[in-house]
A = this chain, B = another copy of it.
Amino acid sequence: MTQARYYHAGCPVCVEAERTLIGLLDPKVKVEIVHLGDVPARVAEAESAGVKSVPALVVDGQVLHLNFGAAIADLK
| A binding-site residues for B, Cβ under 8 Å | 2, 4, 16-17, 20-21, 23-27, 29, 59-60, 62-68
Contact = CB atoms under 8 A, between A and B. Distances in A.
Contact of A25 (B24, B63, B64, B66): B24
A40 to B, nearest CB: 24
Copies in the complex: 2
A24 B65 contact: no
A26 B26 CA distance: 3
A20 B22 CA distance: 14
Contacts of A23: 2
Contact of A66 (B4, B26, B66): B66
Contacts of A60: 20
